[in-house]
Structure 1
């Protein structure tokens, strides 16, 4: 194991069972709420994969591991990304919380031995989505939004569940539109989110309603991007 990651995992006895091991890591580091969240996301991702004809095992694996880097503090995330040659966008450097999706890819590969490119891709864009996203990317993205990590039910849940019953792209746009409506209070409008939204609107024959995919918005909203 890489020396930079070893301090976070050296006291964990791995069983080889992904669900047990992810739960053990997160609870050891005092993240029981994240452990509950990834459990729910893994189950939802598997359900959606079966619904849309994707790989249910890959979806469930990505669900379990998508937030595993929560144990890595914000203050070292930029440095950690640089150590593993993971690109850091200017806006990400100023808002390192968002780097957890990229660092979860590193942990999934380096610690849990995940090598499937499709699974790693889904982990790596589960918060923002990205342009030219795969079906598995979209499934894990939507599972994360249905089983969100905030108190109560998501305000967009009814619309999202209605959309996902028939079309995964429509479901992605439901969440993207929810964020876009709050754009003036976003800490950081991630380029992947903006470009993905523009792409999905274009597929539906609609024009996007922003000029640049590289702007930042400053605000104080509770930890979203």
Structure 2
């Protein structure tokens, strides 16, 4: 299982300090949507990749149109894993998958508010994608385990499944038992008093 740490709604200096603290613990650093909107791909993703070239970065661009263009721009900026929304048209997601395949890169389909029948269809068409079971952050983690258990049933053909939306240390064993490959953690780490220690605890739980 991989640990992804989501960094968002901070300034660039704070984000860089957090990335430094996560070294060796976060398998993937997520450059959050608001961070990218505030500073652009070049001043966020590209800047971080230049400073931390060995770190895997997910660019949470939440593409829902202009798939090939947005994905190519994300990869050019140094993003390793861009995101496309699962409610996007199949044509758009296919365009994203095409660019990812051309460059030999991973990509993520965000299943935020995507119904079961749509999840099954996406899994059938894009089995190589990372599928992210995503509870809206406004729900503050309430119902995440139930959402994971129900969604995993629809993703039986998926090779890689991620979970986001209020993941806690106590949930890690359940996520593992469900076959989750990436646990995405945000405020549980980034808002803790000792971010390095909390990241280490999550890393140990995820990899243990």
TM-score (norm 1): 0.25
TM-score (norm 2): 0.27
Higher helix share: 1
Whose strand fraction is larger, Structure 1's or Structure 2's? 2
Return the index of the structure with the highest Cα Rg: 1
